[in-house]
Amino acid sequence: MQYGYFDDKNREYVITRPDTPLPWINYLGCQAYFGIVSNTAGGYSFYRDARLRRITRYRYNNVPFDLGGRYIYVRDDETGDYWLPSWQPTHSDLEQYTCRHGMGYSTIGSKRRGISASTRYFVPLDENLEIWQFTLSNERQTPAALSVFSAIEFCLWDAQDDSTNFQRNFSIGEVEIEDGVIYHKTEYRERRDHFAWFACSAELAGFDTQRDVFLGPTRGWDRPAAVERGESFDSVAHGWAPIGSHHVRLVLQPGETRQILFVLGYHENPKDEKFDPPESQIVNKKTVKPVIAGYLIPANVDEAFQKLRTYWDGLLDICQVTTPDIHTDRMVNVWNAYQCMATFNMSRSASFYESGIGRGLGFRDSNQDLLGFVHMVPERARERILDLAATQLPSGGAYHQYQPLTKKGNNDVGGNFNDDPHWLIVGVGAYLKETGDWSILDEPVQYDNQPGSEQPLYDHLQRSFRYTLDRLGPHSLPLIGRADWNDCLNLNCFSDTPGQSFQTTTNKEGKVAESVFIGGLFVLAAKELAAIARHSGHADEAAGYLAEGAHMEETVRRHGWDGEWFLRAYDDFGNKVGSKECAEGKIFIEPQGFCILAGIGLEDGLARRALESVRKYLATPHGIVLQQPAYSRYYLHLGEISSYPPGYKENAGIFCHNNPWVIIAEAMAGNGDGAHDYYSRINPSAREAISDVHRCEPYVYAQMIAGRDAPTHGEAKNSWLTGTAAWNYYAIVQFILGIRPAYDGLQIAPAIPERWTGFRAVRRFRGVTYQITVRRAGTGNAVKLMVDGQAVDGDVVRAPADGRTEVVVGVTLE
């Protein structure tokens, strides 16, 4: 069952009924001002940091789930009938409801009793504000007297404090209303130099800024007293809960359409120019007024919207493909790339499942996310890499997270997740291959943000690599520390106290438990670092890295192979995890994927066998589960993984982030059919037809799909902010379609399904546009390359020597 459809041409997903199984959301903003908007106009906004600069209030885990947001009420002033064109929370009968989620904007509208209303929400580029472009039409035969009420609830900035510290917060709310603009200035009198404002382009009949006056003390958002009576109270908030609501009255003739602009913004003043007059407590509005005035002019708003579209088209057009599979095309060309930009902007901080107050940017997450967005925003990827590296510890280890506002390592979570440092090598490798910007390696970067500790970025990579060699266990495999990629495999935790953090509690010394996964990651990192060294004047070191990698590969073969698949780990007692000897958790997905990604076993059949075991024991129609059999109870020595009921999250859920590792492994093993089959099982577009089972948005990946041990097998959870986005993008574009930035040029090595006759792609790479046509001539993956009509050896297209910027590439697969 479906709740909408893809409008591929407009790069939109169109939701055709408001009662989706979960809120289906979109992101507004891509620089500093951000918003989340659901298909029923729920959600909130913030400036840079979802915890510390929350502009509007939102209550997570609400009932109903999605309540509160960017509301516009329409009232028929003749009958008193009122509704929200976006449906929540009045649930009025609507005709022709549609929500179009597009690239950085959402348009939500409907019709009721001959009145059509629709709002386009977006954040213009380079501005700290959001626009609600509201259009109202009278499709009746008679004139319509209507009222329109906007409504938002302001957050008192620190979202954590806002939802806990009521004894203080109920007394500090403050606003100003000037020329119909509502200014929210709580705490401005003391240390804040920022405020929010909410403006309307139409002449006002009234306004409200005190929530309980607007709603009435005993009512909710579904029955505001002001809307019901058809007249604002002109309330001025003092304490309690400041809101912003404008009231506009209008009469529309039959066939007439009117547009009203509502604009919500964030503004900062210099510390010493906060007030006007200076000795007063009145917000200085000198610099904000021109901004407000500008965006209340429809022509400017239309122009800003066109700019936004052009911006997104520019990003997406860097890589466009035409394949025989529509689900592949729309994910690669639009939605998966778009989601990668969301993970770049948000990391794991703010979605409808991440409250925006919990986590900073993850070291391993952000490095992996690079794989999905580096081609779109290389300069910003560069900055991200340098920020991440600056939090690295002198030991080569890493803070697990850093805070986006301070850009400093997060002491609460600390380090000792022993996979973390290697992801920096992976991230930097991806950046270098995309851009060829070798200068980044010479960039001086601090350790632990300590001035004076600057070393070239290259030195950071060396220390990342050393970190593991300094921390080997009894089998010479890498010690796992608090956890490796699997945050929930906590082999040194041994926690029996409720509420303790599995990630930061360490009750064992950590000198025994080892990770085969990190072994695989190390082998991959060794090859990457060797390649980086060879290309950057450190060629003498390359052999050393390769030797260490080869040595680790030997160790993985000797101590990390279980007969039919790769082992997962050794626990604190030196016992195997993920082995046929185990009663539960016999086989895990991560080492199968990652050891093969590192090239282990591709030559001698181990990879094939591991992949067969994955197919036999882990694959389901909804994706590949994390391990089998699921843990049926809590095991002190395994940690959080065994805390989840079977089939969810890391306990045998389909943890979508690691499915692409197997997809890539299949592609590397030459099995394009298998790779694309797995790809399709979790491809959200391919799952659109079962939206009633999947329940999350069909246009973006979710972190998890419930595994076969769960009663809700096939149900997705935690959409949007997940490493799944980057890894799937990487898997489909670089390994199945095989269009792969390499150090020396653009490599083209597809592993497509046998039934595909070929595909086309346009890829902009290092200033050159490559028009690529792949044609299947045989059943294999052997590549014959023609570059501008000339046969070329190998599978790498080098930059044209003569400075041409258009290159035609013909690929024959034999």
**Nearby residues of 24 by Cβ (< 8 Å), 6 or more positions away:** 3, 13, 15, 38, 39, 99, 101, 696, 697
User: Cβ neighbours of residue 209 under 8 Å, at least 6 residues apart?
Assistant: 175, 177, 182, 235, 236, 237, 242, 243, 244, 245
Residue 609 CB neighbour total at 10 angstroms? 17
Angstrom distance (rounded) from CA 205 to CA 200: 11
Q: Please give the Cα distance from 20 to 39 (Å, whole number).
A: 8
Nearer to ligand GLC, 671 or 722 (CB): 722
Which is closer to ligand GLC, CB of 88 or CB of 651?
651
CB nearer to ligand GLC: give 174 or 484. Answer: 484
Query: Structure tokens of 416?
Result: 């000792």
Strand pairing class (82-83; 71-76): antiparallel
Nearer Cβ to ligand GLC (353/467): 353
Q: Which of residues 627-646 bind ligand GLC (CB under 6 A)?
A: 640
- Cβ burial of 197 (10 Å; 0-12, 13-18, 19+) is buried
Stretch that binds ligand GLC, among 36-44, 591-599, 608-616, 649-657 (CB under 6 A): 649-657
| 553 is a site residue for ligand GLC (CB under 6 A) | no
Pick the piece of the chain touching ligand GLC (CB under 6 A) from 142-150, 296-304, 374-382, 486-494. Answer: 486-494
The piece of 485-493, 681-689, 740-748, 755-763 that touches ligand GLC (CB under 6 A) is 485-493
- Print the SS3 string covering 599-650: CCCCCCCHHHHHHHHHHHHHEECCEECCEECCCCCCCCCCHHHHHCCCCCCC
Q: Closest CB to ligand GLC among 158 and 650?
A: 650
Residue closer to ligand GLC by CB (options 606, 638) is 638
* Chain-centre distance for alpha carbon 683: 16
For 117, other C-beta atoms within 10 Å of its C-beta total 23
Nearest residue (CB) to ligand GLC, 462 versus 722:
722
Q: Tally the C-alpha atoms within 13 A of residue 365's C-alpha that lie toward its C-beta.
A: 25
Give the strand pairing for 702-705 and 654-655.
Answer: antiparallel
**Of 488 and 809, which has the nearer Cβ to ligand GLC?**
488
Of 1-9, 56-64, 246-254, 359-367, the segment contacting ligand GLC by CB under 6 A is: 359-367
Q: Which 3 state secondary structure label does DSSP give 308?
A: helix
486 interacts with ligand GLC by CB under 6 A: yes
Question: What character string, x for contact with ligand GLC (CB under 6 A) and - otherwise, covers 650-689?
Answer: x------x--------------------------------
CB-nearest residue to ligand GLC: 487
Mapped onto helix, strand or coil, the DSSP state of residue 663 is helix
Nearer to ligand GLC among residue 144 and residue 426 (C-beta): 426
Residues 220-249 contacting ligand GLC, CB under 6 A? none
Round to whole Å and give the CA distance between 216 and 412. 42
CB of 728 to ligand GLC, least distance (A): 14
Choice between 424 and 787, CB closer to ligand GLC:
424
Q: Report 93-112 residues binding ligand GLC (CB under 6 A).
A: none
d(CA 750, CA 71): 48
Considering only residues 360 to 389 of the shown chain, the ones binding ligand GLC according to CB under 6 A are 362, 364-365
Q: Show the binding pattern over residues 713-732: x = contacts ligand GLC (CB under 6 A), - = does not.
A: ---------xx---------
Gap between the Cα atoms of 717 and 97, Å rounded:
25
Nearer to ligand GLC, 200 or 682 (CB): 682
> Closest Cα to residue 419, out of 375, 483, 328?
483
Q: Which of 87, 122, 467, 485 binds ligand GLC (CB under 6 A)?
A: 485
- Take residue 194 and report the two structure tokens written for it: 């920022």
DSSP 733: I
DSSP 657: G
- Total site size for ligand GLC, rule CB under 6 A: 16
Instruction: State the distance between the two ends of the chain, measured CA to CA, in whole angstroms.
Output: 40
Candidates 84, 213, 488, 491; binder of ligand GLC (CB under 6 A) is 488
**Of residues 649, 681, 687, 708, which one binds ligand GLC by CB under 6 A?**
649
Residue 650 Cβ vs ligand GLC, minimum distance, rounded to whole Å: 5
For ligand GLC, the closer CB: 361 or 582: 361
Show the beta-strand stretches assigned E in 328-483: 361-362, 401-402, 444-445, 455-456
Shortest Å, Cβ 353 to ligand GLC: 11
Residue selected from 153, 325, 420, 487 as contacting ligand GLC according to rule CB under 6 A: 487
- Restricted to residues 494-513, the positions that interact with ligand GLC (CB under 6 A) are 503
Stretch that binds ligand GLC, among 246-254, 432-440, 480-488, 734-742 (CB under 6 A): 480-488
* CA-based nearest residue to 43, from 25, 29, 31, 61: 25
Instruction: Using DSSP, state whether 575 is helix, strand or coil.
Output: coil
Contact pick of 100, 348, 482, 568 for ligand GLC (by CB under 6 A): 348
Which range of residues in 235-243, 432-440, 479-487, 560-568 is near ligand GLC by CB under 6 A?
479-487
Nearer to ligand GLC, 230 or 362 (CB): 362
Chain residues 687-706 in contact with ligand GLC, contact rule CB under 6 A: 703
Under rule CB under 6 A, residue 527 binds ligand GLC: no
Compute the least distance from the CB of residue 50 to ligand GLC, in Å.
16
User: How far apart are the C-alpha atoms of 458 and 668, rounded to whole Å?
Assistant: 29
Kindly report whether the peptide bond that precedes residue 451 is cis, defined as omega within 30 degrees of 0.
Answer: no
- Copy the structure tokens of residue 126: 């380079």
Least distance in Å: CB of 401 to ligand GLC?
8
**H-helix or E-strand containing 121?**
strand 115-122
Q: Which residues of 627-645 are buried (b: 16+ CB within 10 A; e: fewer)?
A: bbebbeeeeebbbbbbbbb
Yes or no: say if 508 and 520 are a contact pair by the CB < 8 Å rule. no
CA distance 436 to 535: 10
Taking the complex as a whole, the smallest distance from the CB of residue 505 to ligand GLC amounts, in Å, to 12
Q: Shortest distance, CB of residue 20 to ligand GLC, whole angstroms?
A: 24
* 8 in active site: no
Grouping H, G, I as helix, E, B as strand and the rest as coil, residue 484 is: coil
Least separation, in Å, of the C-beta of 698 and ligand GLC?
Answer: 21
The two structure tokens encoding residue 785: 């390359």
Least Å from the CB of residue 620 to ligand GLC: 19
**Looking up tokens 């913030």, which residue turns up?**
46
Stretch of 304-312, 470-478, 483-491, 732-740 contacting ligand GLC, by CB under 6 A:
483-491
Residues 593-632, one symbol each (x = binds ligand GLC by CB under 6 A, - = not), give ----------------------------------------
- The answer to whether the bond into 89 is cis (omega within 30° of 0) is yes
- Closest approach, Cβ 354 to ligand GLC, in A, equals 9
Are the CB atoms for 751 and 781 separated by under 8 Å? yes
Among residues 49, 208, 484, 487, the one annotated as catalytic is 487
In the window 779-808, what residues touch ligand GLC (CB under 6 A)? none
Q: Which residues are catalytic?
A: 487
Where do contacts with ligand GLC occur on this chain (CB under 6 A)? 348, 362, 364-365, 485-488, 503, 640, 649-650, 657, 703, 722-723
